[in-house]
Chains A and B, each alone.
Chain A
Amino acid sequence: MISFKGLFAVVAALVANSVAAQPNHLLKIATLAPEGSSWATVLRTIDADVRQETDGNVGFKIYPGGVQGDEKVVLRKMRIGQLHGGNFGGQGVSQTLPDVLALQMPFLFDSYAEVDYVLEKMDAFYRQGYEGRGYIFLGWADIGFVHILSQQPVATVEDMRAQKVWQLPDEPLTSVLFRLAGVTSVPLNIPDVLLGLQTNLIDVVYASPSATIVLQWFTRAKYVTQLPINYTLGALLIDKRAFDKIPAEDREHIHRIARQRMAALNQRNRRENDEAMTVLQANGLSLVEVNPNDVETFKDLVTSAEAELVGQAFSREAHEQIARHLQDSRRTSP
């Protein structure tokens, strides 16, 4: 059992260590994810590895739990040099590089195997895209496949039309899709969604299964649609000006460590989402299956939206490259 003396020794050692090991390059990294979450923990792990591999020349200072503000504020602080990076969720990644939206089109990917294949092939494309905008890309952070939670079953587009559907304000993909589908959408910011469900302002929400648990949306829904809608992801980004000041050898260490650790994070997040899907059902949500014909109707809707989205919300180049790699992936492993 711990004695408090033991605890004090540990704390004293930590303090002594952090004083001795003040790195020459301290990268200040923010994330909305709270301390102890997989997203924050991966930053701590990367920090420990980087300090070791660079002999203490480079370290991260981590600000978890949104203490530095939302992602917009973090990006602004990065521009003025107050912060140097962030582990961004959906909004942050697409604000910095809209072509990320091309990866998040509904019904694009059928499996994680396809996701991994395409992301690998598109690595240079996105890396360069971010670099052109002043960010160093250190890896994707998997959020997962989005599922629909609802008060009445959602198995068809008509089911969507019959209910009040939540929309994230100004989100470009859903803006077009819901209009084309004739769906009544109610724009609400994420912090207001739970109350919106409680007061019947909205009946239909959508998020990754683990997010619906964290945000407690599952407590106010009766159904979860089995059909995955779209794949969503975040990214670990560093301000290029700060990164370029680090010696080339250390930059390589950081890239290698981050790649490895972010891959492990993604595996963990995928396991969590799988578990979350089971937990939703254990908590009384009924699974709604979508029959193949109705899946096609959903997909046709997305295809008709492409005319408005491709070249507008994201570049045609990104869209076409992804489509080509996806075809290759399906050809090699049907």
Chain B
Amino acid sequence: MVAKHLLTMLLLTTLAFGPIGCAARLQSALVGSLIEDVSAATARHDDLDLVASGVPTFLLLLEGLLVANPQDPQLLLSAAEIYTSYATLVEVDDPERAKHLYHRGKVNGLKALALRLSQPDLLQAPYAEFIRVTDDLEASDLPTVFWAASSWGAWISANIESMAALAELPKVIKLMQWIVAQDETFQYGTSHVFLGSYYAALPPMLGGNPEKAAEHFDRAVAIGKGQVLMVYVAKAKFYARSTFDRALYESLLNQALTSSADAVPELTLQNIAAQRQAQILLDQADDFF
């Protein structure tokens, strides 16, 4: 019964064409640098529609590269990230197609994570054994864990009616908690936003925790120095709504809308997406309160 929107809308603003920081470093330096350049340019772009229409081409290119390099961790991770981001866009119109895309994201992300583990089978093991996964991880695994957990979480969110999918959520939470413990500032504190949204999306009677949610969001705001606008959007969407605080809801969304989207160039595209989301949520306020 976890909220359908727990991750999807969040990811629209967090992942959607965000900085592909861990872009592929291929054996082929030429292609590798091309992907990095495209990624960097994409993150800095200010035309979301243009970027969105170019994604399928980019994905096909990645798939082609993966055929030649099926074990390349960076390619797998890029695929996880871009499939997941693209799926959040597709989901509004075609949830069934989005599920297939999320699935590809999850599979690629878990493959990348498995390459880092001495006992990759633990990923599929019961939770009590799974938690040993983090003993195996080190600081250099941050990007892998982050994108694997994000694509996994997004897939769960899209399949929330499935008990099997829902039963995997504690594993994703565990990975996100590991990221926060390891380096809470990674990806501008996005793991805090994920955990904040998770704790805020459910009422306490069903496992939610508004106090913990507030702590995570506050850390994310501090880490992002007000330049990561999706933090405001997620806090409004999950925390302000669940605490039924309309004044907070509107002030957070207005904060996102009036802030500069390109203060940090590599956050430009993500912030533009966040502002669009903020406007939609602001217009819907009467439906929620």
Which residues of A line the B interface, CB within 8 A?
1-7, 10-11, 15, 18, 32-39, 65-68, 70, 190-191, 194, 209-210, 213-216, 218-220, 272, 275-276, 279-280, 282-285
Contacts and interface: CB of A to CB of B under 8 A. Distances in A.
Interface string B110-141: 00000000000000011111000000000000
B64 interface: no
A92 to B, nearest CB: 11
Contact of A34 (B162, B201, B280, B284): B201
A284 B207 contact: no
Given A33-B206, A65-B3, A66-B242, 20 more contacts: A1-B90, A3-B52, A4-B48, A7-B280, A10-B92, A11-B283, A15-B283, A18-B286, A32-B205, A34-B1, A36-B5, A37-B1, A65-B201, A210-B163, A213-B167, A214-B1, A275-B163, A282-B164, A284-B127, A284-B128
B127 A219 contact: yes
B48 A34 contact: no
Contact of B128 (A4, A67, A219, A282): A219
Interface string B144-166: 00000000000000001111101
B100 interface: no
B170 A34 contact: no
A32 B206 contact: yes
By secondary structure, the B interface counts as helix
A151 to B, nearest CB: 11
The 7 tightest CB contacts between A and B, nearest first, are A36-B4, A66-B203, A284-B126, A37-B1, A34-B3, A219-B127, A2-B93
A139 to B, nearest CB: 18
A245 to B, nearest CB: 22
Contacts of B287: 18
12 contacts: A7-B280, A11-B280, A11-B283, A18-B287, A33-B1, A34-B3, A37-B1, A65-B203, A66-B203, A66-B206, A67-B242, A275-B163
Contacts of A210: 1, 163
Given A36-B160, A216-B170, A2 B1 contact: no
